[in-house]
Structure formats: structure tokens, C-alpha cells
Amino acid sequence: MATLPNTATNIDSATANAPSFESALAELEGIVAAMEAGQMPLQDALDAYKRGVALLRHCQETLTVAEQQIRILDADGLRDFDPEASGEPES
């Protein structure tokens, strides 16, 4: 029976202890590499696919939250710096 690197056996516990974006992406890359090798029994491949889907969703949600935070910061006034418009008196 093949084993997957860094793969949790319980998908529900993975959502309770959500990994960082970087560790989720690394685990997802490991799953893809293992599946592409084509040496996995069917049940292991199905379990790996389920875990990969969960990791992909986690990564997508993390990116969506980051994009929303960037939009908020942009709307809050991130603009090109213009020293003449800074409100300081000219000398």
C-alpha cells in the first residue's frame, strides 16, 4: 500500500487545523507528484484526490481573503507618492 508524504488520513481534522498556505501548497504538490507517478492503488488515489481537493479549496480561500485585504488597502489610499501634494509648506 502506497503512502503519501505529509497527507493526513482524516480530511475533517485537516479543516479543524488548517495548514498555512505554504504548507498546504507543498502538500498539494506532493500529492500531485505521487499521483502522477501512477504507482498508487485505487483507494489510495481516491483518498489522495479527496485530500488534494480539500487543500486546493483551502488555498483558493486563503488567496481570496488576501485579495480582499489588498482591495481594502488599495481603496484606503495607496497611491503614487507626490511630494508636492503632501500638504507640507514649500520652502
Alpha-carbon gap, residue 1 to 13, rounded angstroms: 22
Q: What is the pLDDT of residue 88?
A: 54
| Domain 19-74 part of CATH 1.10.287.1040 | yes
* Mutual angle of helices 21-37 and 42-75, in 10-degree steps: 150
Band (pLDDT 50/70/90 cuts) for residue 11 is very low
For the entire predicted model, the pTM comes to: 0.64
CA–CA distance, 22 with 72 (Å, rounded to integer): 23
Question: What's the pLDDT at 1?
Answer: 45
pLDDT at 86: 55
| Domain-wise residue ranges, the chain | 19-74
Asked if residue 65 lies in contact with residue 57, where contact means CB atoms within 8 angstroms, the answer is no
pLDDT confidence tier of residue 51, bands split at 50, 70 and 90: very high
> Across residues 25-40, what is the average pLDDT?
95
Q: Is residue 46's pLDDT more than 90?
A: yes
In whole angstroms, give the CA distance from residue 67 to residue 90. Answer: 38
